[in-house]
Structures are given as structure tokens and as C-alpha cells.
Amino acid sequence: MRHHPRAIVFTDEENAREDQRRARHRPPEGTTERRAGGQFAATWSISNRVKRETIQRLATPTAILVSLPEPLATNCDELLVVGGLKVAKVGDVAAACERIPVVMPQLVMAPSTLKAKDMELLEDSCVAVGAELMKVDTRAAFTSLIPLVKEAANTALIRALRRGA
């Protein structure tokens, strides 16, 4: 491992003596210091002093619509927003599989006409984050889907609030 000198010298310190610079740029206790090329250098970094904590996510009720045809996608979007969810529309399965672990939705809606391989990828992504996958029949009349979408939105909202508690 190669150590690079890490010393900050301000313009008013350029003419300061070595012992004055050393006092201002002393490394934290428990670290070593060495001389490199006649200059003060410390073998430490800020990561030694800063603890990294896990970022906690806020429970945001979210749904992702994957590859739904436009009139159906817009209608589902409106119902889900009224139900209290934020909605993201994704054009294809690959993009959805990338976005699901980041967004961590409670509900993923996809057409039932997807290829088996694509459906399996979506199911795996949903299981990984605990989301419900709703397969939508794109040939059915939207009026028959309204109660199903409302129920799914309500369930997703309850799941999000339980996770946040």
C-alpha cells in the first residue's frame, strides 16, 4: 500500500515554520505520521474518523407500472395516486428490475402477456424487496379492473405503513 502525503497548506502558512504547520495538521491519535520528502505527511484518511451508518429509508407507498399499454397505464396511475401511492412507469422489464431494488415498491403491476422469462425476472425482483406483483389482463375492460386496482392500492398502502413502523 502506497502512502501519499496529505497536508493542507494555506497561503498564510507558506512561510510558516515546520513546527507551526505540524501543530495545525496533526493526525488523530492512534495514527502514525512520517516524513516524506522533508514535508509532514499523515497516513490517515477521513474514513478513519467518520463512521458510516446505514441509511434508513422512509416508508413511501410506491407502485411501479411495467410495460402497460398507455390508456391502461394512465387509468391505473390515476387510481393508484388517489389511493395514496406514488407511481413510476417503466417501459420494459430490464429497467424495472434495475429500479425495483432502488425504489422498493409495495406493488408492481405488469401485463399478464409478458414472456415467461420476463415474468420470472419480475417475480424474483419483487420477492427480493417484498413487493406484490399484480398481473393485469390488458384485454379486459378497465371497469372490471377498477376494484382490483383499488384493493391492490389499499394493500400496498397498509404494507408501506407497517414497514415504516
Whether residue 100 is found in the same domain as residue 36: no
State the Cα–Cα distance between residues 123 and 23, nearest whole angstrom.
59
Whether residue 23 is found in the same domain as residue 66: no
Whether residue 77 is contained in a domain is answered as yes
Q: Using 50, 70 and 90 to split pLDDT, how confident is the model at 161?
A: confident
Whether residue 69 is found in the same domain as residue 44: no
Average model confidence (pLDDT) for the chain?
80
Report the alpha-carbon angle 49-52-55, nearest 5.
155
Whether residue 20 is found in the same domain as residue 76: no
CATH number at residue 120: 3.40.50.2300
Residue-wise pLDDT for 108-160, tens only, equals: 999 999 999 999 999 999 999 999 999 999 999 999 999 999 999 999 999 88
Whether residue 82 is found in the same domain as residue 121: yes
Whether residue 56 is contained in a domain is answered as no
Whether residue 45 is found in the same domain as residue 66: no
Which of 42-71 are b and which e, b meaning 16 or more Cβ less than 10 Å from the residue's Cβ? bbeeeeeeeeeeeeeeebebbbbbbbbeee
Total number of domains in the chain: 2
Q: Which domain holds residue 68?
A: 62-164
